[in-house]
């Protein structure tokens, strides 16, 4: 397992910016209806590891299915750079779109496939 590292990220237009600490040893490609269509690659962080620096007022919330995840996107450029939700044990969790992290090459990361379509 790789060591956790601090990253900065955000949307395309720069309205939403955040910092997150996580390990990028493996990222997840989910095939659910929203991730599959948007090409999202995910890494996960707990609430203490995530800080929204700017753009809370620029975020629009979209929920579907069981409505457990808040799929947030920038109302200006439409980019989904992260989502908020809770783990089964009730703790807050963030799903980070690693394609939105500064200075990270997604093609250099190991990808694990997740069958979200079947859940």
Tokens matching residue 106: 């997604």
Average pLDDT, the chain: 92
Q: How far apart are CA 44 and CA 69, in angstroms?
A: 13
> Residue 55 is encoded by which pair of tokens?
């753009």
Domain parsing of the chain, residue ranges: 5-112
Q: pLDDT tens digits, residue range 61-90?
A: 999 878 888 999 999 999 999 999 998 898
With cut-offs at 50, 70 and 90, classify the pLDDT of residue 1.
low
**For 22-39, what is the mean pLDDT?**
87
Torsion angle, alpha carbons of 79, 109, 31, 91, to 10: -80
> What average pLDDT does range 95-103 have in this prediction?
97
CATH architecture of 5-112: Beta Complex (2.170)
Q: Could you give the 3-state DSSP secondary structure of residue 93?
A: strand
Q: Strands across the sheet with 5-10, in order?
A: 5-10, 17-22, 50-54
């Amino acid at each position: 397992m790789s060591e956790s590292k601090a990253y900065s990220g955000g949307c395309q237009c720069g309205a939403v910016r955040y910092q997150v600490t996580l390990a990028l040893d493996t990222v997840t490609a989910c095939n659910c209806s929203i991730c599959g269509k948007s090409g999202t690659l995910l890494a996960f962080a707990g609430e203490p590891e995530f800080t929204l620096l700017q753009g809370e007022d620029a975020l629009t919330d979209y929920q579907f299915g069981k409505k457990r995840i808040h799929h947030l996107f920038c109302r200006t450029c439409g980019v989904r750079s992260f989502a908020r939700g809770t783990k089964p044990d009730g703790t807050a969790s963030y799903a980070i779109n690693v394609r939105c992290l500064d200075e990270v090459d997604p093609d250099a990361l190991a990808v694990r496939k997740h069958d979200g379509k079947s859940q």
